[in-house]
Amino acid sequence: MNSNIKKIFDIVNQPERLIIGLMSGTSLDGLDIALCKISGSGADTKVSVLAFKTISYSNEFKADIKAVFSRRDADLQLVCIMNERIALVHANMILEAIEEWGKTASDIAAIASHGQTIFHAPASLHRMPGYPNATLQIGDGDHIAVTTGIITISDFRQKHVAAGGEGAPLAVYGDYLIFSKKGQNRVMLNIGGIANFTYLPGDNDAAKVFSTDVGPGNTMMDQYVQKHYPGLYCDKDAAIASLGVVNAQLLNALMQTPFLKMDFPKTTGPELFNLQYLENAQMASGTLLIKKEDVMATLCSFSARVIVNAVEKCFGREADPVIYMSGGGMHNPLLLKKIKAGLANARFSTTAELDINPDAKEAVLFAVLANETLVGEPIDFGGRPGVPSVCMGKICLPY
Ligand SMILES: Nc1ncnc2c1ncn2[C@@H]1O[C@H](COP(=O)(O)OP(=O)(O)OP(=O)(O)O)[C@@H](O)[C@H]1O
Ligand SMILES: CC(=O)N[C@H]1[C@@H]2OC[C@@H](O2)[C@@H](O)[C@@H]1O[C@H](C)C(=O)O
């Protein structure tokens, strides 16, 4: 038997395993690395996060990713090179984290690598009749496996697309397994570059569970700051937006996209919500010349409005879900204030209350997906479009 296969056989026969979950999202700020101890699978999955860190990207690395990120005119040679380069940078970051945590490669059963999304093109976004849903994450898994010496499960989104999904959000699988709670309606709200949530009904009925993207979280604010405030990467603590006034005409124009009216589940990305989208809305509303702080205040309200509308659409105005937040946007005080004001009946918390560091949550979800691939069975969500019953990821062997 190939010794790698033997190793996998041993891993799946152990009662628990250490899996490193990785996430590098649309914000391009750095690599989230979560060291997870996982036992069981499916509804019996138990996860504890033993260690977590985000390793920031250098400005040079960010610039290289940006050159191929969400751009229809990207240089194909650079795309090709970045597929390997991202993997090598990530692999070295993992080795650094493992050493800091006093572990060695042989302690780790597997790495779950999301990779870097460079283009997301569900049919609803590309609108090319007859062409399939598509999404592309780079950062090759074999390079991570060979460099770290650890079995690496990567490229999770392709199986989702192959089985009829749009490639995102995948949060539904892990959220359902680790956060469902009988008797409590839960919303797992992640405010990353793109905001998404998972609806977990209190009756635990898998046939009702879904995750959906709702629209921009931080991405438009980040893009605007990076363009208009050289040296800044995001509007830290809403310092800029807090100085501005929301422009009602611009906000109304921003809300006019068919995406926001589409049914759940749905997915989107910075391919739609970008500075061109803002400029179009400014032109349509005659607000091209308003102050930069007012644009930022309006973008902040835009993100809050799409999140509030989506949660309301899910529960109706009367219901009182508990909203467990995660993702960088929950650190934006103005955004949070607006979301809370819009959902007065909800109780707000973070995944910290459920023992998962909110900054680590997405990385943990990928560790859970890898665990399912190794020891689980496909989860049945009732055969609905958008939530195919599959285990995901490609298994990359170190030698
Ligand atoms: N103190 C803060 N004030 C304002 N915004 C913040 C703060 N801290 C983090 N953020 C926002 O959170 C972003 C990072 O969020 P996160 O790491 O969750 O995104 P991501 O994982 O890259 O996105 P996605 O989930 O869409 O893939 C930053 O770019 C910034 O916009
Ligand atoms: C294509 C892609 O990478 N999408 C990400 C992104 O970041 C947030 C949102 O957009 C979500 O759909 C998804 O990530 C999470 C982890 C998901 O699939 O659930």
Q: What is the pLDDT along the chain (399 residues), one digit of tens a residue?
A: 999 999 999 999 999 999 999 999 989 999 999 999 999 999 999 999 999 999 999 999 999 999 999 999 999 999 999 999 999 999 999 999 999 999 999 999 999 999 999 999 999 999 999 999 999 999 999 999 999 999 999 999 999 999 999 999 999 999 999 999 999 999 999 999 999 999 999 999 999 999 999 999 999 999 999 999 999 999 999 999 999 999 999 999 999 999 999 999 999 999 999 999 999 999 999 999 999 999 999 999 999 999 999 999 988 755 678 999 999 999 999 999 999 999 998 999 999 999 999 999 999 999 999 999 999 999 999 888 889 999 999 999 999
Residues 338, 219 share a domain: yes
Q: Which two tokens stand for residue 391?
A: 């285990």
Residues 188, 46 share a domain: no
Residues 249, 316 share a domain: yes
DSSP assignment of 246-300 equals: --HHHHHHHT--HHHHSPSS----TTTSSHHHHHHHHHHHT-TTS-HHHHHHHHH
**How many residues are recorded in the chain?**
399
Ligand 1 pocket test, candidate residues 194, 271, 306, 331, most atoms within 8 A of CB = 331
Give residue 196 CA to ligand 2 midpoint distance, Å: 8
pLDDT at 206: 92
Q: Are 155 and 111 in contact (CB under 8 A)?
A: no
Give residue 285 CA to ligand 2 midpoint distance, Å: 30
Residue 50 annotated as part of some ligand binding site: no
186-191, strands of its sheet edge to edge: 210-216, 194-200, 186-191, 322-326, 347-350
Residue 130 annotated as part of some ligand binding site: no
Please say which residue of 323, 339, 354 terminates a domain: 354
Residues 9, 126 share a domain: yes
Q: Are 49 and 26 in contact (CB under 8 A)?
A: no
The rounded radius of gyration (Å) of the Cα atoms in the chain is: 20
Each residue of 19-34: b (16+ CB within 10 Å) or e?
Answer: bbbbbbbbbbbbbbbb
Residues 207, 113 share a domain: no
**191 vs 197: CA distance, rounded Å:** 9
Residues 144, 196 share a domain: no
Ligand 2 pocket test, candidate residues 125, 126, 213, 264, most atoms within 8 A of CB = 213
Report the nearest atom of ligand 1 relative to the CA of 327. Answer: 18
Each residue of 141-152: b (16+ CB within 10 Å) or e?
Answer: bebbbbbbebbb
Residue 28 annotated as part of some ligand binding site: yes
Residue 29 annotated as part of some ligand binding site: yes
Q: Are 108 and 58 in contact (CB under 8 A)?
A: no
pLDDT at 319: 67
Q: Which protein residue has the closest C-alpha to ligand 2 atom 9? A: 194
Q: Which two tokens stand for residue 130?
A: 């007859």
**Domain holding 104: CATH number?**
3.30.420.40
Torsion of CA 284, 288, 291, 296, to 10 degrees: 50
Task: Give the total number of structural domains in the chain.
Answer: 2
Q: Are 174 and 368 in contact (CB under 8 A)?
A: yes
Dihedral angle sign, alpha carbons of residues 284, 286, 287, 288: positive
Residues 347, 297 share a domain: yes
What phi and psi, each to the nearest 5 degrees, are found at residue 192? Answer: -100, -150
| Strands of 40-145, DSSP E | 46-56, 110-121, 134-138
Residue 25 annotated as part of some ligand binding site: yes
Q: Which protein residue has the closest C-alpha to ligand 2 atom 1? A: 120
Residues 202, 71 share a domain: no
Residue span of the structural domain in which 163 resides: 3-168+359-396
Residues 337, 200 share a domain: yes
Q: Which protein residue has the closest C-alpha to ligand 2 atom 17? A: 169
Residues 347, 363 share a domain: no
pLDDT at 315: 81
Residues 365, 283 share a domain: no
Residues 320, 243 share a domain: yes
pTM of the model: 0.97
Taking CA atoms, 393 is separated from 112, 251, 306, 368, in Å, by: 8, 39, 31, 12
Closest CA to 200 of 308, 353, 322, 360: 322
